[in-house]
């Protein structure tokens, strides 16, 4: 059955009527989608607190081992551009379960990798296939009615963002107890279970987009030319996630050094406290539903800059460093949820493709931030990392100030 809002769209979507009630999808399904997004996207971040262990295992320097995070994010960006658009053409439940099987194999290969090049290759494949999360977010957006879409997306995104942050805690604890290889092997097992669970539990969502795969990809890139809001929001989030990645890719070096001398458990607890910022995601969605997206964006940019200044000052003060982590996560998550709310208003029949451009740009910014952070730490230490990272939200703030459209829900 075609929903009224998608009549006449180039990618009409058939969704069971029971999930299109006025109050949105059932709570259990939102929780499942949120948990699935969190578990899947966590695959991109398990390595961050393990970099010091990996450096010692493979006898690498900080700049080289940091490439693992960068390669994983590049894989994710590639998957966003090449795989996520299929969410507007293929039956979503089957697509999701197939990709999760690929992730399962890739994570198992990473855990058994005999050398760093094999680990890099497995991370690239796992990153590309972990775009399952970005197929499930548009899935949730389509199930929700217009007046609560921001709240539903915010709840699902809170799971995704918690996964980004809590992955560091889980990775640290498992590595401390059993070594870094177990982190990847446990993730492989979780992905296998998730593949079966989603195959059984998700409702059918069968898009009706016409044309070949090449046509679908061309239509995806055409959306970039058609929607200036998409371009602007993607650049905003690339800058924010670049700063976020620079911080989290290198903070483990600070925590394991003097004066903190943290173990893997200590790094995990630090990441757990930082995850408190994930609590803002549902609130950000609610504010976006009320048309407050534009002012929230400006405030988030300023908050991100302040967080990085605190981080710079907190190199020898754990309280300041924790406060910086919480504020940074809060700012980045706010702009992410508000941005997704804005782009989902542009074309109801192309939400997967819109999301693919938005998140691909987002993760390219993250990959750049990870590499900048690793190189900055190698040559200038923590002060150089936080200084370089702060430039990114500052540039986004300047871009935001040039936007004169003043359309709160989109700009």
Bridge partners (DSSP) listed for residue 206: 14
Of all helices (H) and strands (E), which one includes residue 206? strand 206-207
Q: Cα–Cα distance between 275 and 269 in angstroms, integer?
A: 10
Give one DSSP letter per residue of 75-113, joined into a string.
HHHHHHHHTGGGGGTS-HHHHHHHHHHHHHHHHHHHHT-
Q: What is the pTM of this model?
A: 0.73
Domains of the chain: 23-216+223-401 (1.20.1250.20)
- Report pLDDT for 23: 60
Which residues, other chains included, contact 296 with Cβ-Cβ below 8 Å and sequence gap of 6+? 284, 287, 288, 334, 335, 338
What lies within 8 Å, CB to CB, of 185 at 6+ separation is: 107, 108, 111, 112
Per-residue pLDDT of the chain (411 residues; tens, 9 = 90+): 333 334 333 333 334 434 444 566 778 888 999 999 999 989 988 887 888 889 889 988 877 888 898 899 889 888 988 898 888 888 889 999 999 999 999 999 999 999 999 999 999 999 999 999 888 888 887 777 777 777 787 778 778 777 877 787 888 889 888 999 999 999 999 999 999 999 998 888 776 666 788 888 888 889 999 999 999 999 999 999 999 999 988 998 899 888 988 887 888 788 777 777 666 766 777 777 778 888 999 999 999 999 999 999 988 899 999 999 989 988 998 898 889 889 988 987 788 788 888 988 987 898 889 889 989 998 899 999 999 999 999 999 999 998 865 544 445
> What per-residue confidence (pLDDT) applies to 122?
96
Close Cβ partners of 336 (under 8 Å, ≥ 6 residues apart): 157, 161, 237, 240, 241, 281, 362
Structure tokens at 43: 């695959």
181: left (phi over 0), alpha (psi -120 to 50) or beta: alpha
Contacts of 202 (CB under 8 A, 6+ apart): 32, 92, 93, 96, 139
Helix (H) or strand (E) holding 236: helix 228-256
The pLDDT of residue 408 is 41
DSSP string of 54-71, one letter each residue? HHHHHT--HHHHTHHHHH
Residue tagged 């534009």 (tokens): 294
What distance in Å separates the CA atoms of residue 331 and residue 293, rounded to the nearest whole number?
13
Q: Is 367 helix (H, G, I), strand (E, B) or coil?
A: helix
- Which pair of tokens denotes residue 33? 């989608």
pLDDT attached to residue 9: 39
Determine the pLDDT at residue 51: 85
What pLDDT is attached to residue 367? 81
């Amino acid at each position: 059955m075609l929903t009224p809002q998608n009549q006449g769209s180039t990618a009409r979507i058939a969704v069971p009527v029971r999930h299109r009630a006025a109050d949105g999808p059932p709570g259990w399904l939102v929780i499942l989608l949120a948990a699935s997004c969190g578990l899947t996207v966590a695959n991109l971040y398990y390595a961050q607190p393990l970099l010091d262990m990996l450096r010692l295992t493979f006898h690498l320097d900080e700049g080289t081992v940091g490439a693992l995070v960068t390669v994983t994010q590049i894989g994710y960006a590639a998957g966003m551009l090449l795989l996520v658009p299929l969410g507007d053409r293929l039956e979503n439940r089957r697509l999701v379960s197939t990709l999760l099987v690929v992730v399962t194999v890739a994570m198992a290969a990473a855990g058994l990798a005999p050398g760093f090049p094999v680990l890099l290759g497995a991370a690239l494949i796992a990153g590309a296939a972990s775009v399952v999360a970005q197929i499930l977010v548009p899935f949730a957006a389509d199930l929700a009615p217009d007046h609560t879409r921001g709240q539903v997306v915010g709840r699902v995104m809170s799971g995704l963002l918690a996964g980004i942050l809590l992955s560091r805690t889980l990775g640290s604890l498992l590595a401390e107890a059993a070594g870094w290889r177990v982190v990847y092997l446990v993730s492989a097992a979780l992905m296998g279970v998730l593949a079966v669970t989603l195959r059984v539990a998700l409702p059918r969502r069968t898009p009706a987009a016409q044309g070949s795969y090449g046509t679908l990809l061309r239509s995806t890139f055409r959306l970039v030319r058609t929607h200036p809001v998409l371009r602007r929001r993607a650049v905003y989030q690339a800058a924010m996630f670049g700063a976020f990645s620079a911080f989290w890719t290198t903070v483990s070096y600070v925590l394991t050094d003097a004066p903190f001398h943290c173990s893997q458990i200590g790094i995990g607890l630090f990441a757990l406290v930082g995850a408190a910022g994930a609590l803002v995601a549902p609130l950000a969605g609610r504010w976006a539903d009320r048309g407050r997206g534009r002012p929230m964006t400006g405030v988030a940019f300023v908050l991100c800059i302040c967080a990085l200044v605190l981080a710079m000052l907190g190199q020898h003060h754990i309280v300041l460093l924790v406060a910086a982590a919480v504020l940074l996560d809060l700012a980045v998550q706010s702009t992410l949820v508000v941005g997704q709310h804005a782009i989902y208003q542009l074309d109801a029949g192309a939400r997967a493709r819109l999301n693919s451009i938005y998140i691909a740009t987002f993760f390219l910014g993250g990959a750049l931030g990870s590499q900048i952070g690793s190189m900055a730490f190698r040559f200038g230490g923590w002060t150089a990392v936080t200084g370089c990272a702060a430039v990114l939200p500052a540039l986004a703030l300047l871009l935001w100030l040039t936007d004169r459209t003043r359309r709160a829900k989109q700009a």
